[in-house]
Each structure stands twice: as structure tokens, then as C-alpha cells.
């Protein structure tokens, strides 16, 4: 876009209109994060004040949301995870028409960690994966799985949801999952995985899943970038 510097329409309004067009065309991905102010200054060759006026106009019009220390995001463009349905993290993204992918970081057989001694026997499988949406990292997942998956070629199932692997290999359906949600700050390793600053607040979802015979098959902890992610619980409540 070439700004019309002699136009009666101000520069900040022209930039706001261009960004609006790009938002409507879906150019900022599923997370909806706009370029930084510095990047926009470089792109449009205008002052930071002009860029801030443009973003302020878009915010006033309800097009974007500006989050202190995190950036500017397309309004109401949330990645959702429904807590009232038994589905994998990956599948919950697929159902929204997004383009999720996964990268295998680690897979190994380990002794059961002391805090999980009541869930598994002596050995379990530790798997770590990074979840992406539109090639941008959204969550780091650390899983401990039943030792029945010891022979799985994890590189070959890199893009397969864990529930799918569990059910296909064992022949047993996953029927229940208990979930807990909390928050924590990103340490150095999580910050590097997720492309955020150390100390950034993350959403943490801990999931414990069970087969029909009440055998625990999965303890996964997801560390999630919260800017565009929300958990949703739907239900009907009776008045008293």
C-alpha cells in the first residue's frame, strides 16, 4: 500500500483502513496478532504516534484489542477449548476450522515420577510435543502415558492426537478425563518453546485420562499461551 500523503484523509485513517482490510482477509492467522508498533512504523514509514492513532481507531471501532505487554489482536478471534467434551487438544483446534500441527520434542520410557506413583505402575512413557496454529506455537505439552505404548514409533505419529494413539494401540477407548486449570509464569525452557518472554503468564491445563477399566492412561500438562485462548464450559443450571 502507498499512503496518499496529500489526501484529505489523514495518514492514520488510511493505515487503519488498510489494516482493517487485511484483518477481513484473515492475514493475521488464527491467533490474530498484528505486527508490533515498531514493525508498522517501518512498514508504513510514519511516526509511532501515527501508528498509535491508527490502532486506537481500530480499537475504538471494536476491531482489535490491545493487551499491555502482549500486543494488538483481532477482537473476538479466540481459540476455544470446550471443557464439557472429551476430545484431544489437537482435535479441539481442528473442529474450529484451524490448521493445527504438532512437533515431537522428546519420547522415552521412564520410571514413574514420584507424584504419579498412584496412577501408573513402575514404568511409563514420557512424550513432549509442541502444538502450533498457523505455524505459531500455542502450547507445550508434557505427557506421561501407559507403558502399553512402549513400542510406538513416535516420529511416525507426530501429527496424531494422543487419544487416537492410545485407543488404536491398546484397543481400549478413553472414557473419562479429569482436568484442572491454573496459571504460572514461563520459565526459561517454556519461554523458548513458546516464543514468549521469561516470566510471561501462561495458562496451565492438567489432564488425567482413564480407560473404561479405570486404568489411568494419560497425564498431560499443557502450558498454553493465553492471549487468544479461552476455556469454555457449557451447561444448563436449574434455579433453586
CATH number assigned to the domain comprising residue 86 = 3.40.1410.10
pLDDT at residue 90, rounded to an integer: 85
Single residue among 45, 74, 103 that ends a domain in this structure: 74
Confidence of residue 233 (pLDDT cuts 50, 70, 90): low
Alpha carbon 83 to its chain's center: 15
Tell me, yes or no, whether 56 lies in a domain.
yes
Are residues 83 and 68 part of one domain? no
| Same-domain status, 95 and 158 | yes
Domain end point (choices 57, 74, 91):
74
Check whether residue 23 and residue 85 sit in a common domain: no
CB contact at 8 A, 76 and 167:
no
How many domains are there within the chain? 2
194 shares its domain with 227: yes
Would residue 5 count as lying in a domain? Answer: no
The answer to whether residues 62 and 103 belong to one domain is no
Check whether residue 141 and residue 228 sit in a common domain: yes
Task: For residues 112 and 37, state if they share a domain.
Answer: no
Q: How far is CA 27 from the centre of its chain?
A: 18
SS3 for 72?
strand
Task: Flag whether 2 is in a domain.
Answer: no
Mean pLDDT value of segment 75-97:
75
Domain span at 206 = 79-232
The answer to whether position 210 is within a domain reads: yes
CB-count burial class (<10 Å; 0-12, 13-18, 19+) for 84:
exposed
58: Cβ–Cβ under 8 A, 6 or more apart, which residues?
16, 19, 20, 64, 72
Question: How many residues does this entry show for the chain?
Answer: 240
Out of 24-38, 64-78, 116-130, 151-165, least confident range: 64-78
CATH code of the domain covering residue 68: 1.10.10.10
Is residue 183 in a domain? Answer: yes
Q: Please tell me whether residues 169 and 208 are part of one structural domain.
A: yes
Same domain membership, residue 57 and residue 108: no
pLDDT surpasses 60 at 240: no
Is 240 part of any domain? no
Asked if residue 237 has pLDDT above 60, the reply is no
Q: Is 109 in the same domain as 185?
A: yes
Domain contains 1: no
Domain stop point among 59, 74, 89: 74
pLDDT tens-place string over residues 59-80 = 988 888 888 778 898 875 567 7
Residue 59 and residue 83 in one domain: no
Q: Do 141 and 118 belong together in one domain?
A: yes
Those residues with Cβ within 8 angstroms of residue 19's Cβ, 6 or more apart along the chain or in another chain: 34, 54, 58
Instruction: Report how far apart the first and last C-alpha atoms of the chain are (Å, whole number).
Output: 59
What does pLDDT average to over the chain? 88
Amino acid at each position: 500500500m502507498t499512503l496518499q500523503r496529500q489526501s484529505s484523509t489523514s495518514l492514520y485513517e488510511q493505515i487503519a483502513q488498510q489494516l482493517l482490510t487485511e484483518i477481513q482477509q484473515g492475514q493475521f492467522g488464527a491467533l490474530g496478532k498484528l505486527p508490533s508498533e515498531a514493525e508498522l512504523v517501518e512498514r508504513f514509514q510514519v511516526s509511532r504516534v501515527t501508528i498509535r492513532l491508527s490502532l486506537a481507531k481500530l480499537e475504538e471501532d471494536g476491531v482489535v484489542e490491545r493487551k499491555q505487554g502482549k500486543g494488538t489482536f483481532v477482537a473476538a478471534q479466540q481459540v476455544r477449548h470446550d471443557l464439557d467434551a472429551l476430545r484431544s487438544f489437537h482435535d479441539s483446534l481442528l473442529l474450529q476450522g484451524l490448521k493445527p500441527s504438532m512437533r515431537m520434542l522428546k519420547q522415552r520410557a521412564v520410571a514413574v515420577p514420584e507424584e504419579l506413583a498412584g496412577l501408573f505402575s513402575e514404568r511409563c512413557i514420557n512424550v513432549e510435543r509442541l502444538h502450533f496454529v498457523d505455524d505459531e506455537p500455542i502450547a507445550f505439552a508434557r505427557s506421561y502415558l501407559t507403558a502399553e505404548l512402549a513400542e510406538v514409533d513416535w516420529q511416525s505419529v507426530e501429527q496424531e492426537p494422543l487419544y487416537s494413539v492410545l485407543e488404536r494401540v491398546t484397543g481400549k477407548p478413553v472414557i473419562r478425563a479429569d482436568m484442572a486449570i491454573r496459571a504460572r509464569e514461563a520459565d526459561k525452557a517454556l519461554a523458548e518453546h513458546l516464543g514468549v518472554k521469561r516470566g510471561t503468564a501462561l495458562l496451565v491445563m492438567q489432564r488425567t485420562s482413564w480407560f473404561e477399566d479405570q486404568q489411568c492412561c494419560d497425564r498431560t500438562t499443557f502450558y498454553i499461551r493465553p492471549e487468544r485462548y479461552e476455556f469454555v464450559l457449557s451447561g444448563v443450571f436449574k434455579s433453586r
